[in-house]
Structure 1
Amino acid sequence: MRDRFKIQNVGISITDLNDAVKLIMEQANSKTPAYVCVINTRATYIGNHDPDYCRILNSSFLTVPDGKPIEWYAHASGLKQVKKTSGPDLFESICSTTQNEKYTHFLYGSTPEVIQKMKDNLLIKYPNLQIVGAVSPPFGSPEELANDAIVKLINKLKPTFFWLGLGAPKQERVMDLFIKSIDSSILIGVGLVFDYQAGNVKRAPIWMQKAGMEGIYRLIQQPRRVNYRSLSVLFSIVPQILRILFIKKVYGKS
Protein backbone atom coordinates (compact mmCIF):
# COMPACT_ATOMS: atom_id res chain seq x y z
CA MET A 1 0.00 0.00 0.00
CA ARG A 2 1.02 3.57 -0.56
CA ASP A 3 -0.07 6.81 1.03
CA ARG A 4 -2.42 8.90 -1.08
CA PHE A 5 -2.97 12.49 -2.01
CA LYS A 6 -6.44 13.84 -2.53
CA ILE A 7 -7.99 15.56 -5.52
CA GLN A 8 -11.06 16.74 -3.66
CA ASN A 9 -12.50 13.43 -2.37
CA VAL A 10 -10.58 10.98 -4.56
CA GLY A 11 -7.40 9.51 -3.09
CA ILE A 12 -4.61 8.73 -5.58
CA SER A 13 -1.58 6.64 -4.66
CA ILE A 14 1.75 8.43 -4.26
CA THR A 15 3.60 6.28 -6.76
CA ASP A 16 5.24 5.96 -10.15
CA LEU A 17 5.37 3.18 -12.74
CA ASN A 18 8.30 1.24 -11.26
CA ASP A 19 6.98 1.49 -7.73
CA ALA A 20 3.48 0.45 -8.79
CA VAL A 21 4.79 -2.61 -10.65
CA LYS A 22 6.91 -3.57 -7.61
CA LEU A 23 3.94 -3.32 -5.25
CA ILE A 24 1.63 -5.21 -7.59
CA MET A 25 4.15 -8.03 -8.04
CA GLU A 26 4.61 -8.29 -4.26
CA GLN A 27 0.84 -8.50 -3.83
CA ALA A 28 0.59 -11.11 -6.58
CA ASN A 29 3.26 -13.22 -4.89
CA SER A 30 1.31 -13.09 -1.64
CA LYS A 31 -1.67 -14.78 -3.38
CA THR A 32 -3.94 -12.18 -1.77
CA PRO A 33 -6.69 -10.81 -4.04
CA ALA A 34 -6.67 -7.09 -4.74
CA TYR A 35 -7.79 -4.60 -7.35
CA VAL A 36 -5.94 -1.72 -8.96
CA CYS A 37 -7.60 1.37 -10.44
CA VAL A 38 -5.86 3.30 -13.21
CA ILE A 39 -7.55 6.69 -13.30
CA ASN A 40 -7.35 9.79 -15.46
CA THR A 41 -9.02 13.18 -15.05
CA ARG A 42 -12.35 11.81 -16.29
CA ALA A 43 -12.44 9.03 -13.69
CA THR A 44 -11.35 11.53 -11.02
CA TYR A 45 -14.19 13.84 -12.05
CA ILE A 46 -16.72 10.99 -11.86
CA GLY A 47 -15.37 9.97 -8.46
CA ASN A 48 -15.90 13.47 -7.13
CA HIS A 49 -19.53 13.45 -8.31
CA ASP A 50 -20.47 9.86 -7.44
CA PRO A 51 -19.96 8.84 -3.79
CA ASP A 52 -20.11 5.09 -4.46
CA TYR A 53 -17.58 5.28 -7.27
CA CYS A 54 -15.37 7.41 -5.03
CA ARG A 55 -15.59 4.68 -2.38
CA ILE A 56 -14.43 2.10 -4.93
CA LEU A 57 -11.45 4.22 -6.00
CA ASN A 58 -10.47 4.91 -2.41
CA SER A 59 -10.78 1.26 -1.32
CA SER A 60 -8.40 -0.15 -3.93
CA PHE A 61 -5.00 -1.68 -3.29
CA LEU A 62 -3.65 1.06 -5.56
CA THR A 63 -5.25 3.90 -7.50
CA VAL A 64 -2.55 5.09 -9.87
CA PRO A 65 -2.32 8.41 -11.75
CA ASP A 66 -2.98 7.81 -15.44
CA GLY A 67 -2.24 11.17 -17.01
CA LYS A 68 0.11 14.12 -16.89
CA PRO A 69 -2.52 16.50 -15.44
CA ILE A 70 -2.76 14.35 -12.30
CA GLU A 71 1.03 14.27 -12.11
CA TRP A 72 1.10 18.07 -12.44
CA TYR A 73 -1.48 18.36 -9.64
CA ALA A 74 0.71 16.22 -7.38
CA HIS A 75 3.84 18.21 -8.25
CA ALA A 76 2.02 21.49 -7.57
CA SER A 77 1.14 20.01 -4.16
CA GLY A 78 4.82 19.29 -3.47
CA LEU A 79 4.73 15.56 -4.32
CA LYS A 80 7.49 15.41 -6.91
CA GLN A 81 7.79 11.62 -6.57
CA VAL A 82 4.40 11.08 -8.22
CA LYS A 83 4.75 10.17 -11.90
CA LYS A 84 2.25 9.33 -14.59
CA THR A 85 1.44 5.61 -14.44
CA SER A 86 -0.62 4.95 -17.52
CA GLY A 87 -2.66 1.84 -18.25
CA PRO A 88 -0.69 0.96 -21.41
CA ASP A 89 2.66 1.35 -19.63
CA LEU A 90 1.52 -0.61 -16.58
CA PHE A 91 0.18 -3.41 -18.75
CA GLU A 92 3.35 -3.64 -20.84
CA SER A 93 5.59 -3.56 -17.77
CA ILE A 94 3.75 -6.39 -16.05
CA CYS A 95 3.58 -8.50 -19.21
CA SER A 96 7.30 -7.98 -19.78
CA THR A 97 8.10 -8.82 -16.16
CA THR A 98 6.01 -12.00 -16.11
CA GLN A 99 6.55 -13.40 -19.62
CA ASN A 100 9.08 -16.06 -18.63
CA GLU A 101 7.74 -16.78 -15.18
CA LYS A 102 5.00 -18.77 -13.45
CA TYR A 103 2.48 -15.93 -13.60
CA THR A 104 -0.72 -16.21 -15.65
CA HIS A 105 -3.09 -13.74 -17.27
CA PHE A 106 -6.81 -13.54 -18.04
CA LEU A 107 -8.30 -10.96 -20.44
CA TYR A 108 -11.89 -9.80 -19.90
CA GLY A 109 -13.65 -7.21 -22.03
CA SER A 110 -14.15 -5.64 -25.45
CA THR A 111 -15.42 -7.54 -28.50
CA PRO A 112 -14.53 -11.10 -29.58
CA GLU A 113 -12.54 -9.72 -32.52
CA VAL A 114 -10.57 -7.25 -30.42
CA ILE A 115 -9.77 -9.70 -27.64
CA GLN A 116 -8.59 -12.34 -30.14
CA LYS A 117 -6.36 -9.84 -31.95
CA MET A 118 -5.04 -8.64 -28.59
CA LYS A 119 -4.21 -12.18 -27.54
CA ASP A 120 -2.52 -12.96 -30.87
CA ASN A 121 -0.43 -9.78 -30.77
CA LEU A 122 0.60 -10.36 -27.16
CA LEU A 123 1.85 -13.86 -27.95
CA ILE A 124 3.88 -12.52 -30.86
CA LYS A 125 5.44 -9.90 -28.61
CA TYR A 126 5.75 -12.14 -25.53
CA PRO A 127 5.82 -15.77 -26.78
CA ASN A 128 6.10 -17.23 -23.29
CA LEU A 129 3.30 -15.15 -21.76
CA GLN A 130 0.78 -17.50 -20.16
CA ILE A 131 -2.74 -16.39 -21.10
CA VAL A 132 -5.15 -18.83 -19.48
CA GLY A 133 -8.36 -17.11 -20.50
CA ALA A 134 -9.77 -14.47 -22.84
CA VAL A 135 -13.46 -13.65 -22.62
CA SER A 136 -15.51 -10.99 -24.37
CA PRO A 137 -18.64 -10.69 -22.24
CA PRO A 138 -21.99 -9.56 -23.64
CA PHE A 139 -22.92 -5.95 -22.92
CA GLY A 140 -24.48 -5.68 -19.51
CA SER A 141 -24.55 -4.07 -16.10
CA PRO A 142 -21.69 -4.49 -13.62
CA GLU A 143 -23.78 -7.08 -11.79
CA GLU A 144 -24.28 -9.05 -15.00
CA LEU A 145 -20.59 -8.84 -15.88
CA ALA A 146 -19.57 -10.08 -12.42
CA ASN A 147 -21.83 -13.11 -12.63
CA ASP A 148 -21.35 -16.38 -10.75
CA ALA A 149 -20.12 -18.24 -13.84
CA ILE A 150 -17.16 -15.93 -14.43
CA VAL A 151 -16.36 -15.86 -10.70
CA LYS A 152 -16.24 -19.67 -10.69
CA LEU A 153 -13.99 -19.61 -13.77
CA ILE A 154 -11.61 -17.12 -12.12
CA ASN A 155 -11.40 -19.25 -8.99
CA LYS A 156 -10.90 -22.39 -11.04
CA LEU A 157 -8.11 -21.00 -13.25
CA LYS A 158 -6.67 -18.69 -10.57
CA PRO A 159 -4.99 -16.26 -12.99
CA THR A 160 -2.34 -14.14 -11.35
CA PHE A 161 -3.60 -11.10 -13.24
CA PHE A 162 -7.16 -10.51 -14.36
CA TRP A 163 -7.24 -7.61 -16.83
CA LEU A 164 -10.49 -5.75 -17.45
CA GLY A 165 -11.04 -3.74 -20.62
CA LEU A 166 -14.54 -2.45 -19.90
CA GLY A 167 -13.84 1.27 -19.57
CA ALA A 168 -14.38 3.52 -16.59
CA PRO A 169 -16.45 3.63 -14.46
CA LYS A 170 -17.86 0.18 -15.32
CA GLN A 171 -14.63 -1.80 -14.92
CA GLU A 172 -14.05 -0.41 -11.43
CA ARG A 173 -17.62 -1.27 -10.41
CA VAL A 174 -17.10 -4.81 -11.72
CA MET A 175 -13.83 -5.15 -9.78
CA ASP A 176 -15.60 -4.00 -6.64
CA LEU A 177 -18.07 -6.88 -7.08
CA PHE A 178 -15.42 -9.46 -8.02
CA ILE A 179 -13.15 -8.71 -5.08
CA LYS A 180 -15.77 -10.02 -2.65
CA SER A 181 -15.73 -13.49 -4.23
CA ILE A 182 -12.36 -14.27 -5.81
CA ASP A 183 -9.61 -16.27 -4.14
CA SER A 184 -6.30 -14.84 -5.26
CA SER A 185 -6.17 -12.79 -8.48
CA ILE A 186 -4.99 -9.20 -8.97
CA LEU A 187 -7.71 -7.30 -10.84
CA ILE A 188 -6.55 -4.36 -12.97
CA GLY A 189 -8.85 -2.17 -15.06
CA VAL A 190 -7.05 -0.87 -18.13
CA GLY A 191 -9.87 0.14 -20.50
CA LEU A 192 -8.60 1.21 -23.92
CA VAL A 193 -5.44 -0.90 -23.55
CA PHE A 194 -7.34 -3.77 -25.19
CA ASP A 195 -7.80 -1.69 -28.35
CA TYR A 196 -4.19 -0.49 -28.24
CA GLN A 197 -2.91 -4.05 -28.01
CA ALA A 198 -5.25 -5.21 -30.77
CA GLY A 199 -3.91 -2.46 -33.02
CA ASN A 200 -7.32 -0.85 -33.48
CA VAL A 201 -6.40 2.43 -31.80
CA LYS A 202 -3.06 4.21 -31.93
CA ARG A 203 -1.55 5.70 -28.83
CA ALA A 204 -0.59 9.38 -28.84
CA PRO A 205 2.95 10.25 -29.98
CA ILE A 206 5.49 10.48 -27.17
CA TRP A 207 5.65 14.29 -27.38
CA MET A 208 1.87 14.50 -26.85
CA GLN A 209 2.07 12.07 -23.92
CA LYS A 210 4.78 14.21 -22.27
CA ALA A 211 2.80 17.39 -22.96
CA GLY A 212 -0.27 16.02 -21.22
CA MET A 213 -2.24 15.85 -24.47
CA GLU A 214 -2.94 12.12 -24.58
CA GLY A 215 -6.58 12.64 -23.62
CA ILE A 216 -7.01 15.13 -26.45
CA TYR A 217 -5.47 12.65 -28.88
CA ARG A 218 -7.97 9.98 -27.77
CA LEU A 219 -10.87 12.33 -28.40
CA ILE A 220 -9.52 13.16 -31.86
CA GLN A 221 -9.59 9.44 -32.67
CA GLN A 222 -13.14 9.17 -31.32
CA PRO A 223 -14.79 12.36 -32.66
CA ARG A 224 -18.31 11.18 -31.81
CA ARG A 225 -17.37 11.50 -28.14
CA VAL A 226 -16.30 15.15 -28.48
CA ASN A 227 -18.78 17.57 -26.91
CA TYR A 228 -18.84 20.31 -24.31
CA ARG A 229 -19.12 17.82 -21.43
CA SER A 230 -16.22 15.64 -22.57
CA LEU A 231 -13.97 18.69 -22.99
CA SER A 232 -15.02 20.26 -19.68
CA VAL A 233 -14.31 16.98 -17.85
CA LEU A 234 -10.94 16.61 -19.60
CA PHE A 235 -9.82 20.06 -18.43
CA SER A 236 -11.61 20.05 -15.05
CA ILE A 237 -8.37 19.58 -13.13
CA VAL A 238 -6.68 22.67 -14.59
CA PRO A 239 -8.39 25.26 -12.31
CA GLN A 240 -7.45 23.12 -9.29
CA ILE A 241 -3.79 23.06 -10.31
CA LEU A 242 -3.82 26.84 -10.85
CA ARG A 243 -5.48 27.34 -7.46
CA ILE A 244 -2.72 25.38 -5.67
CA LEU A 245 0.00 27.30 -7.51
CA PHE A 246 -1.69 30.62 -6.71
CA ILE A 247 -1.99 29.80 -3.00
CA LYS A 248 1.66 28.69 -2.87
CA LYS A 249 2.74 31.87 -4.65
CA VAL A 250 0.74 34.20 -2.42
CA TYR A 251 0.87 32.42 0.93
CA GLY A 252 3.88 30.17 0.48
CA LYS A 253 1.95 27.00 1.27
CA SER A 254 -0.28 24.38 -0.40
Structure 2
Amino acid sequence: MKKVDILGVEFDFTTQQEILNILQDKIERNKKAFVVTANPEIVMYANKDPQYMHTLQFANHIIADGVGVILGSKIVRQPLPERIAGFDLMIELLSIANQKGLRVFFLGASEQTLEKMIPKIKRDYPKLVIAGYHHGFFKGHEHKVKQMVKEAKADLVFVALGYPKQEEWIQKNIDSFEKGIFMGIGGSFDILAGTVKRAPGFWRNLNLEWLYRLIQQPTRWKRMLALPTFVKKMFQYRRKSSDNM
Protein backbone atom coordinates (compact mmCIF):
# COMPACT_ATOMS: atom_id res chain seq x y z
CA MET A 1 0.00 0.00 0.00
CA LYS A 2 1.18 3.52 -0.81
CA LYS A 3 2.37 5.50 2.22
CA VAL A 4 2.53 9.24 2.85
CA ASP A 5 5.34 10.54 5.06
CA ILE A 6 4.10 13.05 7.65
CA LEU A 7 7.12 14.19 9.69
CA GLY A 8 8.57 10.69 9.64
CA VAL A 9 5.30 8.86 10.36
CA GLU A 10 4.15 6.69 7.44
CA PHE A 11 0.39 7.01 6.89
CA ASP A 12 -1.63 4.61 4.74
CA PHE A 13 -2.98 6.18 1.55
CA THR A 14 -6.43 4.70 2.01
CA THR A 15 -10.13 5.29 2.52
CA GLN A 16 -12.12 3.90 5.43
CA GLN A 17 -13.77 1.29 3.22
CA GLU A 18 -10.45 0.16 1.78
CA ILE A 19 -8.83 -0.32 5.20
CA LEU A 20 -11.96 -2.14 6.41
CA ASN A 21 -11.68 -4.56 3.49
CA ILE A 22 -8.00 -5.17 4.26
CA LEU A 23 -8.65 -5.79 7.98
CA GLN A 24 -11.63 -8.03 7.28
CA ASP A 25 -9.50 -10.13 4.93
CA LYS A 26 -6.83 -10.47 7.64
CA ILE A 27 -9.46 -11.56 10.18
CA GLU A 28 -10.80 -14.21 7.80
CA ARG A 29 -7.27 -15.54 7.27
CA ASN A 30 -6.46 -15.46 11.03
CA LYS A 31 -3.67 -12.94 10.45
CA LYS A 32 -2.45 -10.28 12.88
CA ALA A 33 -2.36 -6.52 12.38
CA PHE A 34 -1.26 -3.56 14.48
CA VAL A 35 -3.37 -0.49 13.67
CA VAL A 36 -2.55 3.05 14.84
CA THR A 37 -5.07 5.88 14.57
CA ALA A 38 -2.85 8.95 14.58
CA ASN A 39 -3.54 12.69 14.81
CA PRO A 40 -1.07 15.64 14.79
CA GLU A 41 -0.59 15.28 18.55
CA ILE A 42 0.68 11.72 18.10
CA VAL A 43 2.93 12.75 15.21
CA MET A 44 4.45 15.55 17.29
CA TYR A 45 4.97 13.23 20.26
CA ALA A 46 6.73 10.70 18.03
CA ASN A 47 9.05 13.45 16.81
CA LYS A 48 10.03 14.22 20.42
CA ASP A 49 10.29 10.60 21.59
CA PRO A 50 12.50 8.30 19.45
CA GLN A 51 11.25 5.21 21.31
CA TYR A 52 7.65 6.00 20.40
CA MET A 53 8.62 6.68 16.78
CA HIS A 54 10.30 3.26 16.83
CA THR A 55 7.07 1.74 18.18
CA LEU A 56 5.03 3.31 15.37
CA GLN A 57 7.38 1.79 12.81
CA PHE A 58 6.15 -1.66 13.91
CA ALA A 59 2.55 -0.80 12.96
CA ASN A 60 1.03 -2.46 9.91
CA HIS A 61 -1.33 0.41 9.34
CA ILE A 62 -1.28 4.05 10.47
CA ILE A 63 -4.44 5.91 9.54
CA ALA A 64 -5.18 9.63 9.48
CA ASP A 65 -7.39 10.26 12.51
CA GLY A 66 -7.37 14.04 12.51
CA VAL A 67 -8.09 16.80 10.01
CA GLY A 68 -4.64 18.19 10.83
CA VAL A 69 -3.00 15.12 9.28
CA ILE A 70 -5.05 15.64 6.12
CA LEU A 71 -3.91 19.27 6.06
CA GLY A 72 -0.32 18.14 6.54
CA SER A 73 -0.58 15.75 3.59
CA LYS A 74 -1.82 18.60 1.41
CA ILE A 75 1.08 20.81 2.52
CA VAL A 76 3.56 18.18 1.29
CA ARG A 77 1.46 17.83 -1.89
CA GLN A 78 0.51 14.19 -1.23
CA PRO A 79 -3.11 14.61 -0.12
CA LEU A 80 -4.55 11.63 1.72
CA PRO A 81 -8.00 10.54 0.46
CA GLU A 82 -9.94 11.23 3.67
CA ARG A 83 -9.85 11.44 7.42
CA ILE A 84 -10.59 8.09 9.09
CA ALA A 85 -11.76 8.66 12.64
CA GLY A 86 -10.60 5.89 14.93
CA PHE A 87 -14.00 5.81 16.61
CA ASP A 88 -15.79 5.36 13.27
CA LEU A 89 -13.41 2.59 12.24
CA MET A 90 -14.00 0.83 15.56
CA ILE A 91 -17.80 1.07 15.12
CA GLU A 92 -17.54 -0.43 11.63
CA LEU A 93 -15.39 -3.26 12.96
CA LEU A 94 -17.89 -3.90 15.76
CA SER A 95 -20.66 -4.11 13.15
CA ILE A 96 -18.64 -6.65 11.16
CA ALA A 97 -17.97 -8.58 14.39
CA ASN A 98 -21.71 -8.58 15.07
CA GLN A 99 -22.53 -9.86 11.57
CA LYS A 100 -19.93 -12.62 11.70
CA GLY A 101 -20.01 -13.56 15.39
CA LEU A 102 -16.38 -12.54 15.91
CA ARG A 103 -14.59 -12.55 19.25
CA VAL A 104 -13.72 -9.12 20.72
CA PHE A 105 -11.55 -8.12 23.68
CA PHE A 106 -11.75 -4.67 25.29
CA LEU A 107 -8.70 -3.44 27.20
CA GLY A 108 -8.53 -0.05 28.88
CA ALA A 109 -10.46 2.80 30.51
CA SER A 110 -11.73 2.59 34.08
CA GLU A 111 -13.78 -0.16 35.73
CA GLN A 112 -16.71 2.26 35.96
CA THR A 113 -16.55 2.95 32.23
CA LEU A 114 -16.44 -0.75 31.39
CA GLU A 115 -19.41 -1.43 33.71
CA LYS A 116 -21.44 1.02 31.63
CA MET A 117 -20.02 0.05 28.24
CA ILE A 118 -20.23 -3.75 28.29
CA PRO A 119 -24.04 -3.93 28.72
CA LYS A 120 -24.41 -1.46 25.83
CA ILE A 121 -22.14 -3.57 23.65
CA LYS A 122 -24.26 -6.64 24.47
CA ARG A 123 -27.41 -4.73 23.59
CA ASP A 124 -26.19 -3.04 20.40
CA TYR A 125 -24.07 -5.94 19.08
CA PRO A 126 -25.79 -9.08 20.41
CA LYS A 127 -24.13 -11.51 17.99
CA LEU A 128 -20.49 -10.64 18.61
CA VAL A 129 -18.70 -12.61 21.31
CA ILE A 130 -17.21 -10.57 24.16
CA ALA A 131 -14.08 -12.66 24.61
CA GLY A 132 -13.01 -10.62 27.62
CA TYR A 133 -12.34 -7.17 29.04
CA HIS A 134 -10.08 -5.52 31.58
CA HIS A 135 -9.63 -1.97 32.82
CA GLY A 136 -6.51 -0.02 31.96
CA PHE A 137 -5.01 0.24 35.45
CA PHE A 138 -3.04 -2.99 35.64
CA LYS A 139 0.48 -1.89 36.58
CA GLY A 140 2.18 -4.84 38.28
CA HIS A 141 -0.26 -7.28 36.65
CA GLU A 142 0.94 -7.03 33.06
CA HIS A 143 1.54 -10.78 32.69
CA LYS A 144 -1.94 -11.62 33.97
CA VAL A 145 -3.55 -9.24 31.48
CA LYS A 146 -1.45 -10.56 28.60
CA GLN A 147 -2.55 -14.11 29.48
CA MET A 148 -6.19 -13.01 29.55
CA VAL A 149 -5.89 -11.58 26.06
CA LYS A 150 -3.97 -14.63 24.84
CA GLU A 151 -6.54 -17.07 26.18
CA ALA A 152 -9.40 -15.00 24.72
CA LYS A 153 -8.24 -15.80 21.15
CA ALA A 154 -9.96 -12.62 20.02
CA ASP A 155 -10.36 -11.53 16.41
CA LEU A 156 -10.40 -7.88 17.49
CA VAL A 157 -8.56 -6.32 20.44
CA PHE A 158 -9.36 -2.68 21.16
CA VAL A 159 -6.79 -1.04 23.45
CA ALA A 160 -7.93 2.17 25.16
CA LEU A 161 -4.89 3.18 27.21
CA GLY A 162 -4.24 6.49 25.48
CA TYR A 163 -1.07 7.17 23.56
CA PRO A 164 1.77 6.26 23.92
CA LYS A 165 0.83 3.43 26.29
CA GLN A 166 -1.65 1.69 24.01
CA GLU A 167 0.75 1.48 21.06
CA GLU A 168 3.62 0.46 23.31
CA TRP A 169 1.50 -2.30 24.87
CA ILE A 170 0.51 -3.63 21.46
CA GLN A 171 4.04 -3.55 20.06
CA LYS A 172 5.43 -5.26 23.17
CA ASN A 173 2.85 -8.05 23.28
CA ILE A 174 1.50 -8.73 19.80
CA ASP A 175 4.03 -11.49 19.08
CA SER A 176 2.53 -13.48 21.98
CA PHE A 177 -0.85 -13.82 20.24
CA GLU A 178 -1.89 -16.17 17.46
CA LYS A 179 -4.18 -13.79 15.62
CA GLY A 180 -6.14 -10.58 15.92
CA ILE A 181 -6.49 -6.98 14.81
CA PHE A 182 -4.95 -4.84 17.58
CA MET A 183 -6.00 -1.22 17.53
CA GLY A 184 -5.37 1.68 19.89
CA ILE A 185 -8.51 3.76 20.25
CA GLY A 186 -7.81 6.33 22.99
CA GLY A 187 -10.94 7.54 24.77
CA SER A 188 -13.47 5.69 22.61
CA PHE A 189 -14.69 3.46 25.45
CA ASP A 190 -15.93 6.59 27.25
CA ILE A 191 -18.03 7.49 24.21
CA LEU A 192 -19.41 3.96 23.94
CA ALA A 193 -20.23 4.04 27.66
CA GLY A 194 -22.00 7.37 27.27
CA THR A 195 -19.80 9.17 29.80
CA VAL A 196 -18.35 11.41 27.06
CA LYS A 197 -20.49 12.82 24.25
CA ARG A 198 -19.14 12.74 20.72
CA ALA A 199 -19.45 15.76 18.47
CA PRO A 200 -22.73 15.79 16.51
CA GLY A 201 -22.56 15.10 12.77
CA PHE A 202 -22.82 18.82 11.93
CA TRP A 203 -19.54 19.55 13.74
CA ARG A 204 -17.83 16.47 12.27
CA ASN A 205 -18.88 17.36 8.73
CA LEU A 206 -17.25 20.77 9.16
CA ASN A 207 -14.06 19.12 10.48
CA LEU A 208 -14.62 20.88 13.81
CA GLU A 209 -14.81 17.84 16.09
CA TRP A 210 -11.61 19.05 17.78
CA LEU A 211 -13.30 22.36 18.68
CA TYR A 212 -16.38 20.58 20.05
CA ARG A 213 -14.16 18.41 22.27
CA LEU A 214 -12.28 21.49 23.46
CA ILE A 215 -15.56 23.17 24.44
CA GLN A 216 -16.67 20.00 26.24
CA GLN A 217 -13.27 19.51 27.90
CA PRO A 218 -11.51 22.90 28.28
CA THR A 219 -8.58 21.20 30.02
CA ARG A 220 -7.55 19.90 26.57
CA TRP A 221 -6.39 23.36 25.46
CA LYS A 222 -2.71 22.63 26.09
CA ARG A 223 -2.94 19.54 23.89
CA MET A 224 -4.42 21.65 21.10
CA LEU A 225 -1.24 23.74 20.97
CA ALA A 226 0.37 20.87 19.06
CA LEU A 227 -1.63 21.72 15.92
CA PRO A 228 -0.11 25.13 15.00
CA THR A 229 3.37 23.77 15.77
CA PHE A 230 2.57 20.76 13.57
CA VAL A 231 1.51 22.96 10.64
CA LYS A 232 4.67 25.07 10.97
CA LYS A 233 6.84 21.94 10.96
CA MET A 234 5.01 20.59 7.90
CA PHE A 235 5.93 23.71 5.90
CA GLN A 236 9.53 23.42 7.10
CA TYR A 237 9.47 19.73 6.13
CA ARG A 238 8.22 20.60 2.63
CA ARG A 239 10.93 23.22 2.12
CA LYS A 240 13.61 20.81 3.32
CA SER A 241 12.33 18.07 0.99
CA SER A 242 12.28 20.51 -1.95
CA ASP A 243 15.85 21.60 -1.22
CA ASN A 244 17.00 17.97 -1.26
CA MET A 245 15.45 17.24 -4.66
Q: TM > 0.5 between the two?
A: yes
What are the superposed Cα offsets for residues 114-162 of structure 1, whole Å, 9 maximum, x if unpaired?
112112112222221221111114253xxx56x2222222222200001
The answer to whether residue 190 in structure 2 is matched with residue 195 in structure 1 is yes
CA contact (8 A) 2:4 2:80 kept: no
The answer to whether residue 200 in structure 2 is matched with residue 205 in structure 1 is yes
Match of 2:227 in 1: 234
Match of 2:36 in 1: 37
- Describe the SS at the equivalent of 2:229: coil
- Describe the SS at the equivalent of 1:236: helix
Q: TM (normalized to structure 1)?
A: 0.86
CA distance 1:79–1:9, change in 2 (3 Å): closer
Give runs of aligned pairs for residues 121-136 of structure 1, distance below 5 A. Answer: 121-136=120-135
CA distance 1:80–1:137, change in 2 (3 Å): closer
Match of 2:11 in 1: 12
One-letter code of the match for 1:34? A
Match of 2:95 in 1: 96
In 2, the alpha carbon distance for the partners of 1:220 and 1:169 equals 24
CA contact (8 A) 1:68 1:209 kept: no
CA contact (8 A) 1:10 1:44 kept: yes
CA distance 1:244–1:209, change in 2 (3 Å): farther
What are the superposed Cα offsets for residues 14-49 of structure 1, whole Å, 9 maximum, x if unpaired?
112111111111222222222111111111110111
What are the superposed Cα offsets for residues 188-208 of structure 1, whole Å, 9 maximum, x if unpaired?
110111011011111122233
Match of 1:160 in 2: 155
1:240 Cα deviation (Å)?
4.5
1:13 Cα deviation (Å)?
1.4
The answer to whether residue 171 in structure 2 is matched with residue 172 in structure 1 is no
Q: TM (normalized to structure 2)?
A: 0.89
Give runs of aligned pairs for residues 54-69 of structure 1, distance below 5 A. Answer: 54-69=53-68
CA contact (8 A) 2:27 2:181 kept: yes
CA contact (8 A) 2:107 2:157 kept: yes
CA distance 1:137–1:232, change in 2 (3 Å): closer
Consecutive unaligned residues in structure 1, runs of 5 or more = none
In 1, the alpha carbon distance for the partners of 2:233 and 2:2 equals 21
One-letter code of the match for 2:69? I
Higher mean Cα deviation, 106-115 or 78-87? Answer: 78-87
CA contact (8 A) 1:215 1:234 kept: no
Number of residue pairs matched?
Answer: 242
In 1, the alpha carbon distance for the partners of 2:75 and 2:188 equals 29
In 2, the alpha carbon distance for the partners of 1:31 and 1:116 equals 30
Higher mean Cα deviation, 69-78 or 117-126? Answer: 69-78
In 2, the alpha carbon distance for the partners of 1:132 and 1:175 equals 17
- Describe the SS at the equivalent of 1:44: helix
CA contact (8 A) 1:76 1:244 kept: no
Give runs of aligned pairs for residues 47-86 of structure 1, distance below 5 A. Answer: 47-86=46-85
Provide the identity percentage.
24
1:187 Cα deviation (Å)?
0.8
Match of 2:113 in 1: 114
1:100 Cα deviation (Å)?
2.3
